[in-house]
Structure formats: structure tokens, C-alpha cells
């Protein structure tokens, strides 16, 4: 009898352990379900090489893939559709070997002709691709064999791998335009999801059944059956829909520190955060008075108290960074506190203004961008701060299209905006600061900085490049083409049932392939 009891007790204990094991296995990914993502901006154009809106990228991240990718956590460059690559010693030839198990959504297999077609399409002026400037160094693409392509450059490009890993350099199949008809509304990629429905207020993606990636247990990705993006322009409604259980994840412009604060502490929700690569900036028209005088630009920089700005606008959830994002440690970002002209000194600011012939200070206009919610707040804080440094600021609120027109025409004294960042310092800085840069709307010209940027661009050795960018950072802070203000924290809020999503500094949505819903 006693023996029976002992056996029974042992069995019970064993069962309990087994049950515990099953419970723990609840953490293994479950297949199925629909991931409902809330975003605040309209999804406009789905052409992978033409789209520029962040909302479009949020969809395209799941539909298309590049040869390489940035690891969403570490931001390292990793092989993706390309299995491996090699670079010739002179830095001019990139030989890329493709994976053999990748298929497009229509079932056709990826091969070298698709890669050549993609790069040719981006470079074709008729495509009007904003990505063309990134691929400008490409001289030609040759097909070595069905799974190997060779990309030859006109001159060495130290940032070329990171260009291949970036958004917008996504691979499409040969004869893409003929196959899809209108690529602005139809898609055909290799990504984990494919487009099922596209309307003004929502986009529905369904699982790509023959997606090439598998998880560690050998299960084919993605886990979810479908992903739906809902456009909810009002941030308060966005938060409410998440709380009411009608969304699983909210991310993007409406999800800032206000949302994170309002939703942290709600039982069934989880707040995720990471430091952004994008930065807020105070743009300056450096070609005309008063900012054509370097002393006035330095005075402007000295009058700004970034720490206070971050406290007031971002509730402390941002980093006062300089020209290189603080998250990209590999390139030696210099903290703002150690850069010239980045420590607040309003007295020195007034002195410089007086030296520049403005003993009574100067009056300037400041134009915040309408689509970035915190831009107006930044302008208001700057207005107060700059007053102490001798600047009288008039804030000009204009709508988005007007801002864009004036930005492009360099018709401003100063503006407040948000610039997208990049892990490669060349991509991050060159186009804004080099005198021939494609988005140098500041009209900034500095031969010494031009030369430094040009040299760093063609220097393949990372250690030497790093030294050069240390000089670049110092020079930018001294010459003041514009003011780097803050790298804010990014936020996303999900329901606790959402597992496996990684919020990346790049804002990529690609990790939704490994995201699953626990039920």
C-alpha cells in the first residue's frame, strides 16, 4: 500500500514537472493569427525603388528583401539574399554569390539576372528612383553564372556594402514592371509576406508560403498567417485601439514618449524602446546673411542648450549627439559635450554676434516641419534659449508641401526637421554636408570638409576611415553647416501576446517575420 502511495506521489511530481515543461514550451513560437499593426501615416506608393515615405517602407520591409541586411539588433551587415561576397583588393569589384533557395511570390526562383535587372532599374533615369544616387558609383553589373554577379564600381566606395544592405535597394525579378503592371500598387518580392489588399486606410499582407527562411527548429517563417496595417491618423485613437485590443502593435510617428508614458503600466501592454538613428536638426541657410558669417553660426550653436531641450521636448528620452549617431559605436561618435560649440554659452554667443557686427543681436525666422509632431515644440524651446544668446526668433508655421518647396529652394533662415540616419557615416553625412551633396539645402561649402569627406568615402581601411571621421566630426562642429540637436528614443507598444518582435534603430518592420501571437 505504502509503495503504491510512493509511486503515486512520484508520478504526480513527475507529471507536475512535465506540465511545467509544457508551460515553458508555451514560449515556443505558435503559428497562425493576424498581426494587426497601427500606424499614423497614409501608405502611398509601394514601388520599392521610388517610394520615399516612411509609411511605405513599413510595408515594403516585409514584401521585399536586399542582397544584404542590417541586423535589427546589432546593426551589423549580414548576408541575406546574398550568401557571401568578396571584394577585390582595389575595392572596385564586388563578387556576390546568391542563395539558391529563394523564390519570389509568384514562385519563380531568384537568380543573377534579377539582381542585374534590379540595379539597372534603379539606375535607369526613367525610373526616377531616389535610390539612384546611392548606386551612382556602379559602373556595370555582370552575370558570372546564374548565382554569381559581379558589380564593378567606377571608384572605390567604402560605404557600398551598407548601401546594398539599406532600404530601397530591394531585389525585384527580371521584367518586374511587365509582371506587376503598376508597381505603385502591386508588388512582387521575395519577402516573408505578400500583398493581398491595398486601400487608403489599410494594407493586408499574407504569408509567403515558400519563404526561404526557417527558424532554429526548422519551422518555415513567417509564423503569422497575415499582417494588417491600419492607418489611424490621430495618435489618441491609435493608443485607444491598442488598449481596446483591436491592434497588436503600434509603431511610427504617433508613438512617442507621450504614448509610451500613457501606456506603460497598462497590464496587457509592453513598451519597447531603442535609440533612433534619425536625428532632429536645426537647418541653417549658410549662404546668405546673417548665417553666411561663421561667427553667427557658432553663436547660434552656443546659444542652444541641448540637455534642456531634451528634458522639455523628449522628457529626457533622447541623446544629445553630434554628427555620428551615438548608437553606431563602431565609427567613434564624439559625445555632444566634447564637441566645439556644442556646450551652451549664451554670453559667448552674444560676444560672437557683436564681433560679427550685430551688437544688438539678430532677428531670424524658424520654420518647423509640420509632419513631425515634436518639431514645433523644439522650435518653441529654441526660441526661448536663443533669446538669451542674442537671437530674436520668429516661428513660421507652414504646411508640409510649403515646407518641402522652401526646403528644396533653400528659402529659409532656419528650419527644424528630422533627418533619417544611417549606420555608415558616408551615407549619413555626405549628401547633407558635401558642397555637391544631393540634399545640401543649407548651401554649405567648405573645401577642407569636402576633401575630408571625399577621402573618407574612398578609404576602405576601417581604422583609417574612423580617424578621418573623428576629424570630420570636429570640423562639422566648428564650421556649423547645421545643428545636430538630438537622437530621440524610438518607441513601439505591443500587446503582451505579441512575441519575438525586435524594435530596431533602423525602424525596420522585417522582424515581423519572426513575430508570433501567443494564445
Partner 1 sequence: MQRYIAKRLVLLAPVLFVVSALVFALMRLIPGDPAQVLLGFENTDPEQLAAVRRDLGLDRPITVQFVRWLGRLVRGDLGTSARTGRPIVALLAEALPFTLELAVYGLVLAVLIAIPMGTLAGTTTSRLADAGMQTLTLLGLSLPAFWVGSLFILLFSVHLRWFPVLSFPALWRAPAANLWGFFLPALTLAIPNAAAIARMVRASMIAVRREEYVKVARAKGLTEFLVVRRHMLKNALIPVVTLIGIIAGYLLGGSIVVEQVFAIPGVGRMGLQAIVQRDYPVLQAVVLLVTFIFVLINLLVDLLYVFLDPRIRYA
Q: Footprint of partner 1 on this chain (CB under 8 A)?
A: 42, 44-45, 52-53, 125, 128, 130, 133, 182, 184-185, 199-202, 230-234, 236-238, 240-241, 243-244, 246-247, 398-402, 404-408, 420, 438-439, 441
Q: Which is nearer to partner 1, 54 or 487 (CB)?
A: 54
The three-state (H, E, C) secondary structure of 101-161, written as one string: CCECCCCCECCHHHHHHHHHHHHCHHHCCHHHHCCCCEEEEEEEECCEEEEEECCCCCCHH
Q: Which is nearer to partner 1, 231 or 354 (CB)?
A: 231
* CA 335 to the chain's CA centroid: 21
Helix (H, G, I), strand (E, B) or coil at 177: helix
Q: Which is nearer to partner 1, 62 or 263 (CB)?
A: 263
Q: Which is nearer to partner 1, 214 or 408 (CB)?
A: 408
Min CB(57)–partner 1 separation in Å: 11
Min CB(43)–partner 1 separation in Å: 9
CA 167 to CA 70: how far, in whole Å?
10
CA 472 to CA 58: how far, in whole Å?
32
Min CB(310)–partner 1 separation in Å: 24
Cβ(375)–Cβ(282) under 8 Å?
Answer: no
Q: Which is nearer to partner 1, 396 or 450 (CB)?
A: 396
Q: Which is nearer to partner 1, 110 or 278 (CB)?
A: 278
Min CB(146)–partner 1 separation in Å: 33
Residues ≥6 apart with Cβ < 8 Å to 349: 299, 300, 302, 303, 388, 389, 390
What value does the CA radius of gyration of the chain take, rounded to a whole number of Å? 26
374-388 and 346-355 helices cross at what angle (nearest 10)?
A: 70
Cβ(370)–Cβ(398) under 8 Å?
Answer: yes
Min CB(80)–partner 1 separation in Å: 22
Q: Which is nearer to partner 1, 344 or 481 (CB)?
A: 481
Min CB(395)–partner 1 separation in Å: 17
**Which of 196, 162, 133 has its CA nearest to residue 70?**
162
**402: DSSP letter:** H
**214: DSSP letter:** B
Min CB(349)–partner 1 separation in Å: 30
**Which of 42, 38, 60, 58 has its CA nearest to residue 400?**
42
Min CB(148)–partner 1 separation in Å: 31
Min CB(438)–partner 1 separation in Å: 6
Q: Which is nearer to partner 1, 116 or 428 (CB)?
A: 428
In the beta sheet, which residues pair with residue 491?
A: 273
First CA to last CA distance, the chain: 42
Min CB(97)–partner 1 separation in Å: 30
Cβ(165)–Cβ(75) under 8 Å?
Answer: no
CA 150 to CA 103: how far, in whole Å?
21
Q: Which is nearer to partner 1, 254 or 290 (CB)?
A: 254
Q: Which is nearer to partner 1, 475 or 483 (CB)?
A: 483
CA 250 to CA 271: how far, in whole Å?
10
Amino acid at each position: 500500500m505504502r509503495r503504491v502511495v510512493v509511486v503515486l506521489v512520484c508520478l504526480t511530481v513527475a507529471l507536475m514537472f512535465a506540465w511545467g515543461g509544457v508551460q515553458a514550451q508555451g514560449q515556443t513560437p505558435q503559428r497562425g493569427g493576424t498581426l494587426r499593426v497601427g500606424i499614423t501615416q497614409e501608405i502611398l506608393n509601394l514601388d520599392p525603388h521610388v517610394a520615399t515615405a516612411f509609411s511605405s517602407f513599413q510595408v515594403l520591409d516585409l514584401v521585399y528583401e536586399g542582397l544584404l541586411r542590417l541586423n535589427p539588433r546589432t546593426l551589423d551587415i549580414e548576408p541575406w539574399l546574398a550568401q557571401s561576397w568578396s571584394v577585390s583588393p582595389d575595392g572596385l569589384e564586388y563578387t556576390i554569390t546568391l542563395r539558391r533557395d529563394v523564390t519570389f511570390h509568384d514562385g519563380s526562383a531568384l537568380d543573377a539576372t534579377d539582381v542585374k535587372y534590379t540595379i539597372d532599374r534603379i539606375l535607369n533615369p526613367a525610373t526616377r528612383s531616389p535610390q539612384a544616387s546611392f548606386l551612382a558609383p556602379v559602373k556595370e553589373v555582370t552575370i558570372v553564372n546564374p548565382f554569381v554577379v559581379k558589380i564593378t564600381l567606377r571608384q572605390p566606395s567604402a560605404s557600398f556594402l551598407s548601401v546594398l544592405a539599406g532600404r530601397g535597394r530591394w531585389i525585384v525579378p527580371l521584367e518586374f514592371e511587365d509582371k506587376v503592371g503598376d508597381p505603385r500598387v502591386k508588388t512582387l518580392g521575395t519577402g516573408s509576406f505578400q500583398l493581398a489588399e491595398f486601400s487608403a486606410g489599410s494594407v493586408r499582407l499574407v504569408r509567403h508560403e515558400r519563404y526561404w527562411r526557417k527558424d532554429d527548429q526548422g519551422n518555415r517563417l513567417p509564423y503569422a498567417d497575415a499582417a494588417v496595417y491600419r492607418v489611424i491618423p490621430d495618435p489618441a485613437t491609435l493608443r485607444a485601439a491598442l488598449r481596446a485590443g483591436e491592434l497588436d502593435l503600434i509603431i511610427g510617428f504617433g508613438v512617442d514618449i507621450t504614448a509610451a508614458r500613457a501606456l506603460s503600466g497598462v497590464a496587457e501592454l509592453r513598451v519597447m524602446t531603442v535609440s533612433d538613428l534619425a536625428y532632429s536638426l536645426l537647418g541653417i541657410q549658410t549662404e546668405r546673411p546673417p548665417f553666411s558669417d561663421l561667427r553667427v553660426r557658432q553663436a547660434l550653436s552656443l546659444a542652444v542648450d541641448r540637455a534642456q531641450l531634451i528634458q522639455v521636448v523628449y522628457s529626457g528620452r533622447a541623446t544629445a549627439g553630434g554628427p555620428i549617431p551615438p548608437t553606431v559605436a563602431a565609427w567613434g561618435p564624439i559625445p555632444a559635450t566634447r564637441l566645439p560649440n556644442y556646450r551652451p554659452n549664451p554670453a559667448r554667443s552674444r560676444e560672437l554676434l557683436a564681433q560679427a557686427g550685430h551688437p544688438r543681436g539678430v532677428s531670424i525666422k524658424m520654420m518647423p516641419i509640420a509632419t513631425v509632431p515634436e518639431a514645433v515644440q523644439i522650435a518653441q524651446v529654441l526660441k526661448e534659449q536663443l533669446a538669451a544668446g542674442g537671437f530674436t526668433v520668429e516661428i513660421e508655421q507652414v504646411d508640409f508641401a510649403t515646407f518641402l518647396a522652401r526646403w528644396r529652394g533653400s528659402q529659409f533662415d532656419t528650419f527644424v526637421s528630422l533627418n533619417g540616419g544611417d549606420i555608415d557615416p558616408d551615407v549619413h553625412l555626405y549628401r547633407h554636408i558635401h558642397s555637391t551633396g544631393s540634399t545640401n539645402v543649407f548651401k554649405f561649402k567648405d573645401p577642407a570638409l569636402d576633401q575630408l569627406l571625399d577621402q573618407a568615402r574612398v578609404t576602405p581601411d576601417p581604422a583609417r576611415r574612423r580617424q578621418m571621421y573623428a576629424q570630420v566630426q570636429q570640423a562639422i562642429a566648428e564650421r556649423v553647416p547645421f545643428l545636430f540637436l538630438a537622437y530621440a528614443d524610438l518607441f513601439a507598444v505591443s500587446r503582451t501576446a505579441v512575441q519575438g518582435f525586435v524594435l530596431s534603430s533602423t525602424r525596420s518592420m522585417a522582424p515581423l517575420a519572426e513575430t508570433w501571437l501567443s494564445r
